[in-house]
Chain A
């Protein structure tokens, strides 16, 4: 019977490595496996089978389509000269794209969903601008704010997903992202109003956010405090 030279435990005749330390078994006396089928032919049980994707897509579609159709019909019957039902319909289409697109991805849903959400939000704002006939704000306010939000959230999601940041670095990064987003709102609005980028209130938000982010980063370098916090909150 083979032994693990590292752990000292006995191993199964068919073992190729120690299950405890992964040390390779160099000279197993019997290379013959005990069973005819290797155990690796077992498959992993998938857990997300309870979720009926088709049913949810149908439910969401019916739920959003019904008010859109009703509002178009009412608009056509009651006051055909005012196009108020377009607001409802555009809103419903926007919500539909946001909710349905999640179901089409199996892995990394949030990261893959973000560009779709960004484009559909831009589309919705563009439609709004055209329905209300208040031209000018879409490209100066709508696009910069939406795009900056998309970029900031995408970077955050990627950093977390790839585990480039962890534990308290995550809230620190989120705080910093909030500060940057406020910059973009402040900058876009001031550019729309005064044709020049002026940052005022967003600087205060940024300073506060950076302070919180620094606390997070400092705490991260003191792991015993993180451990204590984790135990308190059972994370």
Chain B
């Protein structure tokens, strides 16, 4: 934070360490946008939603910002202009243009009973966006005559914004020396017929949590580990089914919410990645082998010390004096080049599990379901995200190719393991 308009409303924000990447690489193919949404039991009233959004943004001004370019770094400027709600579209998570968002980095959309928040990844991560959405929903329901208490992560809109909510926690978390990165080989990428840069297809599967938990328990792993292993198995089989069999490693990025390891109320990016991988060149992997590999890999890489070192190695570049002195244009090109060389080439896909969404009982009766969708990422034609709510896990696959082979294999895999799946395509009813 650099300057403040008053004690509680920051005017200018520095981008956090993870956020510095997104403005440099974003374009129509890589919008860096994700979406969290909720389905209510009644149709949404746009007027009430707009008032609820205004109140929420007063409480969380860190989301009411516009991106500006400085001489050395990008920065956010708080804007007192209104963020206007928008009608939902068939192709969510598209590039945020000046015209479509008025320069803001979030979009709040509605359609029938659905309310969705789309956010540019530079301002927040999945956990931060979910807090914003829950606060927005609580405000909306309160204004609609159903008072909701400010518990379960919901922020009280009558409170003033807190400084901690806008601070970059990466520097406080990175205590250890940087990790020594092991050189990795290029990963397998799912190929298919491109949908074009302005389209995305989404298929969501709803899975009852109990059979999923029981099956995961058979392998002595968590639900995240089980689903990640299932996804990797499916990707591995998909690679082997190609006419020209490739034997490239399958690497899936799994974001880890650092808030679980370092208590903070920040709403900005505060997550790291673990990347379990299998190399089919070592031979054919059975699911039982993959699930154990994933289990040990995630357990090892998500230890606090390992993640602290990983964050420290990410900060090393941003804190480098020479890099800091470079003008923004040059820095952007360097970041872009680094991303092209070190980015999506080394992972096959992303599987983000937001965990169980908890809301007050007063709110539960009005909210039918939650969902999370990852936007298009260049290099990875398919990505997936999951969350749990009311005894169900919803997994969304977003793809920028026409073929549904991976999703088909994934859901069939779950059914073969005795887990029923309800499949819907976007837009959901």
Measured as residues with beta carbon below 8 angstroms from the partner, the interface class of chain B is: 35 or more
- Tell me which of A39, A45, A50 contacts B429 (CB under 8 A): A39
- A-B interface contact total, Cβ < 8 Å: 103
Q: Does B284 contact A (CB under 8 A)?
A: no
Given contacts A10-B422, A12-B429, contact A43 B90 (CB under 8 A): yes
Q: Does A18 contact B (CB under 8 A)?
A: yes
Which of B95-103, B140-148, B155-163, B272-280 contacts the other chain?
B95-103
CB contacts (< 8 Å) of A45 on chain B: these are 89-91, 94, 100, 198
How many Å lie between the Cα of A44 and that of B197 in the bound state? 12
Given contacts A11-B423, A49-B97, contact A20 B203 (CB under 8 A): yes
Asked if B94 contacts A47 (CB within 8 A), the reply is: yes
Given contacts A44-B199, A234-B379, contact A227 B89 (CB under 8 A): no
CB contacts (< 8 Å) of B198 on chain A: these are 44-47
Q: Which residue of B lies closest to A13 (CB)?
A: B429
Asked if B246 contacts A19 (CB within 8 A), the reply is: no
- Tell me which of A4, A7, A42 contacts B90 (CB under 8 A): A42
How many Å lie between the Cα of A175 and that of B429 in the bound state? 52
From 91 to 127 in chain B, residues with beta carbon under 8 angstroms from any chain A beta carbon are: 91, 94-95, 97-100, 111-113
How many Å lie between the Cα of A223 and that of B244 in the bound state? 7
Given contacts A21-B408, A45-B94, A231-B186, contact A10 B244 (CB under 8 A): no
Give min CB distance, B120 to chain A, whole Å. Answer: 15
- Tell me which of B95, B97, B100, B423 contacts A18 (CB under 8 A): B423
Asked if A227 contacts B244 (CB within 8 A), the reply is: yes
Q: Does B411 contact A (CB under 8 A)?
A: yes
Asked if A9 contacts B415 (CB within 8 A), the reply is: yes
Q: Does A1 contact B (CB under 8 A)?
A: yes
CB contacts (< 8 Å) of A231 on chain B: these are 186, 189, 248, 345
Given contacts A50-B97, A223-B244, contact A21 B404 (CB under 8 A): yes
Q: Which residue of A lies closest to B196 (CB)?
A: A47
Give min CB distance, B356 to chain A, whole Å. Answer: 22
Which of A30-38, A129-137, A191-199 contacts the other chain?
A30-38
What total of chain A residues lie within 8 Å of the partner, measured CB to CB?
34
Asked if B91 contacts A50 (CB within 8 A), the reply is: no
CB contacts (< 8 Å) of B62 on chain A: these are none
Given contacts A9-B411, A35-B429, contact A224 B244 (CB under 8 A): yes
Asked if B404 contacts A20 (CB within 8 A), the reply is: yes
CB contacts (< 8 Å) of B286 on chain A: these are none
Give min CB distance, A58 to chain B, whole Å. Answer: 18
- Tell me which of A8, A15, A42, A223 contacts B412 (CB under 8 A): A8
Q: Does A160 contact B (CB under 8 A)?
A: no
Asked if B429 contacts A43 (CB within 8 A), the reply is: no
Q: Does A64 contact B (CB under 8 A)?
A: no
Asked if B91 contacts A9 (CB within 8 A), the reply is: no
CB contacts (< 8 Å) of A21 on chain B: these are 404, 408
Q: Does A153 contact B (CB under 8 A)?
A: no
How many Å lie between the Cα of A9 and that of B206 in the bound state? 10
How many Å lie between the Cα of A58 and that of B381 in the bound state? 39
- Tell me which of B91, B189, B422 contacts A44 (CB under 8 A): B91
- Tell me which of B28, B243, B427 contacts A39 (CB under 8 A): B427
Asked if B199 contacts A19 (CB within 8 A), the reply is: no
How many Å lie between the Cα of A44 and that of B198 in the bound state? 8
C-beta contact mask, B362-391 vs A, less than 8 Å → 1, else 0?
A: 000000000000000001000000000000
Given contacts A42-B88, A42-B89, A42-B90, contact A49 B99 (CB under 8 A): yes
C-beta contact mask, A38-69 vs B, less than 8 Å → 1, else 0?
A: 01001111110110000000000000000000
Q: Does B288 contact A (CB under 8 A)?
A: no
Q: Does B407 contact A (CB under 8 A)?
A: yes
12 example contacts (A-B, Cβ-Cβ < 8 A) are as follows: A10-B421, A12-B428, A19-B425, A20-B407, A21-B408, A39-B112, A42-B111, A45-B89, A49-B99, A223-B243, A223-B244, A234-B379
Binding site for B on A (CB under 8 A): 1, 4, 7-12, 14-15, 18-21, 33-37, 39, 42-47, 49-50, 223-224, 227, 231-232, 234
Q: Which 9 A-B pairs have the closest CB atoms?
A: A19-B425, A39-B427, A49-B99, A34-B429, A10-B422, A45-B89, A50-B97, A9-B423, A20-B408
